[in-house]
Structure 1
């Protein structure tokens, strides 16, 4: 018993429990593509960089993830988080980014792109697109896309904005888009592309880049803000720095992007 007591802190210090979500294409928990999600593949790379650590995971709904991560009585970590002032009160963030991706984009049918005399992957003003052409836009209920996009959406009349609740609102909106019940959807490029590859008529869809956003967004590792979490973040930072130079890392970041958008992100990779 004495040996177990003496060694148990050491065991805990060499263990990381990752919170993961049932949220493709970041985590793919079942089907033929199981384990091929972007964030879970990055965790695998981190495991290779931290061979002295044992990795485990807990799958939680997105609504509980930040709450669980903030619980100082436990120590968990999570990948690809946005840093916010409020979150920093309860979560210790890495200095090095863990993921890098494109900002929110517009998904729409190719026939609409052609009618607007645009090309897939082209940069456009969301405000101008909606105001001049009176297009109907769909977004997931209670989801924020940053101040600039949110402010544009806030100016729309109710008949021009469709807010979709539910477990998988982006998928529902995509079905509506294909059935011509709305004109465009706001989401993240990798999410649009993942759905596009799953749907039988997904090749009817393409994406446009929104000019009201930054080119890229970076996600960071967050661990519970306690002594153990701070120690883990210190080691994770050491592993993340050289990870950005790995060809496999770049491959993972580009994995869930359509061809017309890969060049945009590739210019920001090492």
Structure 2
């Protein structure tokens, strides 16, 4: 049996004991108004959040990278988000559409290129999201989404070249997806279905947080997928073809990860 209890956070960079806190105030509230009952909703909300920042080993002398390493601790990151939008439920539940705009500010971001780390950065993210679910006629369903995010350093006193530069941790600025599926609802071929869709992202610079170094661009991509299946009363059998064009593409947030090539998947499901 072993027990370890630690009630402090030693910041050896400043050689002082930072306050040990187990509680914080994180308010959240929202409002929804329906100008057309059960068909059109207008909403708005505010929320505050926080995130722990892990300590890092840094040189004891920021001007001397070869000096002895010490543990530097940081305060919590604090985020404030405001969001507003509309939701629709039209044509007897055949069209659901959500459109929202958000504005997020994150304070206490750790800024530093090289050994020195200073917690004085602010990142602001603004953008919008669109989500669609539609059933134009029986058996035919469409699901889609689109988002655009503009995330930038608005304040970085310790590294001014980052100000008004995109925040690397935000990933691609634009993401999108669409999937359409049709299942024959009746007749001799009832239960047979097929689908087609795509998903993609805009280009992304992995070195955007280090403007003095240069650029490393992950290209934009669009991936197409399709499926065919049969849905019985107790079982389902299907084939799905992912990345139909065998596109060579990458994803990554500070990493470079090659993605799956063209893949054919078969599946069988039985319900007892």
Q: Which has the larger strand fraction?
A: 2
Q: Normalising to structure 2: TM-score of the pair?
A: 0.23
Larger radius of gyration: 2
More helix by share: 1
| Greater relative contact order, per chain length (Cα 8 Å cut-off, separation 6+) | 1
